């Protein structure tokens, strides 16, 4: 679950497309209004309602929903099967960028701009309804290759383009901790974040991704997220798209 830049082979800027028919079950989500990042834990008693709400958001065509499982609840008796220190670090980085040292679960971050309690449905809905993303991210499949085009937009500042892979659905029987005895269903569980490259406002950016290598055997899909940084901390998300196989 590292966040290192992709190997050259995955960047694939000069790789030719392979003519293989696209899978009928695939779907591409373009022009979303919001990227919702849920910071959650299998050991958090208050998280199941937020996990369920993320599942509902994932079904919307105008939301890219991502679940980051943190590991700081593991000490209470159950080690989150998807938890990762880098995800907790990402949540802390958001807090620091907002001038806070406090983190909590469940927390939903909308477009990198606002954090809300993930179990408060009305607050989450209000944040999503008021959200917008100014930058389109176009995705087109050609055989086993996926072309990602992020056009220029001179009124915006430069940003980093991230590839975020995820499990579409996973069911976990929790044996200990505050949720002991529950069988939980999780959706859009983030497995990895890697840098695709930089997006420059005056020139745009284009990437070609070899789908079999990006998805591997287990991932159900991925999101491409264009996000600004401020002093090395996560800033506003400008655009996104998602691909589900």
Residue 72 lies in a domain: yes
Unique residue bearing structure tokens 């497309």: 17
Residue 14 neighbours by CB distance under 10 Å: 7
Query: If you average pLDDT over every residue of the chain, what do you get?
Result: 91
- The answer, yes or no, to whether residue 199 has pLDDT greater than 70, is yes
Residue 80 lies in a domain: yes
Q: What is the predicted pLDDT for the residue at 83?
A: 98
Residue 1 lies in a domain: no
Q: What is the pTM of this model?
A: 0.89
Q: What is the predicted pLDDT for the residue at 55?
A: 97
Range of the domain at 194: 8-244
**End-to-end C-alpha distance for the chain, whole angstroms:** 20
- The answer, yes or no, to whether residue 237 has pLDDT greater than 60, is yes
State the pLDDT confidence band at 21, using cuts at 50, 70 and 90: very low
State the pLDDT confidence band at 25, using cuts at 50, 70 and 90: low
Q: What is the predicted pLDDT for the residue at 10?
A: 46
- The answer, yes or no, to whether residue 225 has pLDDT greater than 80, is yes
Unique residue bearing structure tokens 């606002």: 114
Residue 32 lies in a domain: yes
**Domain total in the chain:** 1
Specify burial of residue 86 (Cβ count, 10 A radius: 0-12, 13-18, 19+): middle
The per-residue pLDDT for range 95-134, each reduced to its tens digit, is 999 999 899 999 999 999 989 999 999 999 999 999 999 9
Q: What is the predicted pLDDT for the residue at 26?
A: 85
């Amino acid at each position: 679950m590292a966040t290192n830049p992709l190997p050259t082979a995955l960047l694939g800027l000069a790789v030719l497309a392979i003519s293989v028919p696209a899978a009928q079950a695939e779907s591409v989500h373009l022009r979303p209004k919001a990227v919702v990042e849920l910071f959650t834990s299998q050991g958090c008693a208050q998280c199941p309602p937020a996990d369920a709400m993320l599942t509902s958001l994932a079904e919307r065509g105008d939301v890219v929903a991502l679940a980051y499982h943190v590991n700081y609840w593991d000490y209470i008796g159950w080690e989150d099967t998807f938890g990762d220190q880098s995800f907790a670090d990402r949540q802390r980085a958001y807090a620091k960028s907002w001038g806070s040292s406090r983190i909590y679960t469940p927390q939903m971050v909308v477009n990198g701009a606002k954090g809300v309690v993930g179990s408060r449905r009305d607050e989450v809905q209000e944040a999503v309804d008021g959200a917008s993303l100014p930058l389109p991210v176009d995705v087109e499949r050609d055989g086993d290759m996926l072309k990602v085009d992020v056009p220029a937009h001179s009124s915006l500042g430069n940003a980093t383009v991230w590839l975020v892979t995820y499990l579409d659905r996973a069911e976990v029987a929790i044996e200990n901790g505050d949720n002991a005895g529950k069988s939980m269903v999780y959706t859009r569980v983030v497995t990895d974040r890697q840098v695709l490259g930089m997006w420059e406002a005056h020139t745009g950016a284009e990437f070609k991704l070899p789908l079999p290598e990006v998805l591997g055997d287990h991932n159900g899909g991925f999101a491409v997220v264009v996000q600004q940084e401020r002093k090395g901390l996560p800033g506003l998300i400008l655009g996104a798209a998602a691909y589900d196989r």
